[in-house]
């Protein structure tokens, strides 16, 4: 297993304000980043996500790119695998908000399934 896979969000997205859940007409979006992470999840010990040049990420982008990973991986796995070495307070807050919301959605779905 390789040690580190690096993702530069600004280079991939081509903008300082990444937005959107799904790629349309070839434009990268949150699902682009999520696919890169998932494709490399088992190949690397850690995945470093660099946000240099990114000013603001929309909530749908953050949810799709990062928080939805919690549908297939635990929060512990997420925290051990993903690293955001150059993140600032606003980025961390954005990630935390998206993760909390996604965990709530997952819990609600599980409760409905167990009742149904």
| All structural domains of the chain with their residue ranges | 2-115
Indicate the average pLDDT of the chain.
96
Cα–Cα distance measured from residue 19 to residue 42, given in angstroms and rounded to the nearest whole number: 27
pLDDT, tens digit, 9 for 90 and up, residues 29-80: 999 999 999 999 999 999 999 999 999 999 999 999 999 999 999 999 999 9
pLDDT, tens digit, 9 for 90 and up, residues 82-100: 999 999 999 999 999 999 9
pLDDT, tens digit, 9 for 90 and up, residues 7-43: 999 999 999 999 999 998 789 999 999 999 999 999 9
- What is residue 24's DSSP assignment? B
Confidence at residue 26, expressed as pLDDT on a 0 to 100 scale:
82
Confidence tier at 116 by pLDDT (50, 70, 90): confident
- What is residue 27's DSSP assignment? B
Closest by Cα among 23, 3, 2, 1 to 13: 23
């Amino acid at each position: 297993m390789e040690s580190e896979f690096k993702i530069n969000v600004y280079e991939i997205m081509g903008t300082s304000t990444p937005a959107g859940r799904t790629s349309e007409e070839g434009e990268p979006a949150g699902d682009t980043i999520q696919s890169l992470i998932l494709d490399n999840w088992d190949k690397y010990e850690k995945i470093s996500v660099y946000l240099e040049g990114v000013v603001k990420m929309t909530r749908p982008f953050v949810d799709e790119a990062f928080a939805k990973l919690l549908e297939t991986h635990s929060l512990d796995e997420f925290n051990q695998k993903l690293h955001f070495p150059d993140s600032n307070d606003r980025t961390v807050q954005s990630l935390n908000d998206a993760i909390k919301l996604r965990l709530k959605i997952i819990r609600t779905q599980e409760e409905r399934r167990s009742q149904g």
